[in-house]
Amino acid sequence: MEKIYLTKRYIRKPGKAIALLLSIVILFEVFGWTLHFEKKVAQIRHFGGPLAYLYIVLRGGIFPELVTLIMVLFLVELTHTALKIYTVRFSLSAILRYEITFLPVMALAFFFFNPITQSVRYLLVNFPVYDLATYWDTYIIATYSLKMYFNYLIPVLLIGYISINLSLLSDLLRDVRIWKYRNAISG
């Protein structure tokens, strides 16, 4: 087997990536509860109970970040199309080159998804009272900072590369099954 033919299953169908994102959020919540139990209890009281807290987390955190996830996967798919990447040679150096191809995409993705993610967050969090000055100053201008960029960089790298590698692994396993089947028939 010389090449891995890319179907990009995990990139084109974001359901598994969404499940991964939700798993990461749950993991962070578990760590948050473990390390800062009193603070979390105070937050729940502040928001008016567990259901209100869950509503705030969904509305201000999870739903807007789904937009980030979809945008990152879209940029990865767009990169595949623009660079006409349909196969990857089955060697460590070729796979590493394939991986490195996406590093600039992941590094610059923030500038593409941030205004969209923040707009969705603003619409969900501030409903039904909207104010253009608050939107522009708090949700757009203030979010273009080094701190915010680096807050997003690691999750974007994780989401992007986990999706790319799961897709690549899935395609590799599929190609190995096909290769074994063809060799069994001809052999």
Q: Tens digit of pLDDT for each residue in 74-111?
A: 999 999 999 999 999 999 999 999 999 999 999 999 99
Instruction: Tell me the three state secondary structure of residue 94.
Output: helix
Q: Tens digit of pLDDT for each residue in 37-76?
A: 999 999 999 999 999 999 998 999 889 989 999 999 999 9
Rg (CA), the chain: 20
- Domain holding 19, by residue range, is 3-178
Asked if residue 187 is part of any domain, the answer here is no
Cα–Cα distance, 110 to 165 (Å, whole number):
21
Domain count, the chain: 1
Instruction: State both tokens at 37.
Output: 């139990």
Residues 113 and 68 sit within 8 Å (Cβ to Cβ): yes
pLDDT of residue 84: 97
Residues 14 and 176 sit within 8 Å (Cβ to Cβ): no
Asked if residue 141 is part of any domain, the answer here is yes
Residues 160 and 109 sit within 8 Å (Cβ to Cβ): yes
Cα–Cα distance, 149 to 157 (Å, whole number):
12
Cα–Cα distance, 132 to 50 (Å, whole number):
31
Asked if residue 186 is part of any domain, the answer here is no
Q: Which pTM does this prediction carry?
A: 0.84
Asked if residue 185 is part of any domain, the answer here is no
Which amino acid, residue 4? I
Asked if residue 183 is part of any domain, the answer here is no
Asked if residue 170 is part of any domain, the answer here is yes
Asked if residue 108 is part of any domain, the answer here is yes
Asked if residue 66 is part of any domain, the answer here is yes
- For residues 95 and 162, which has the higher predicted lDDT (pLDDT)? 95
User: What confidence tier does 155 reach under pLDDT thresholds 50, 70, 90?
Assistant: confident
Residues 64 and 120 sit within 8 Å (Cβ to Cβ): yes
User: What's the farthest any 2 CA atoms get from each other in the chain?
Assistant: 71
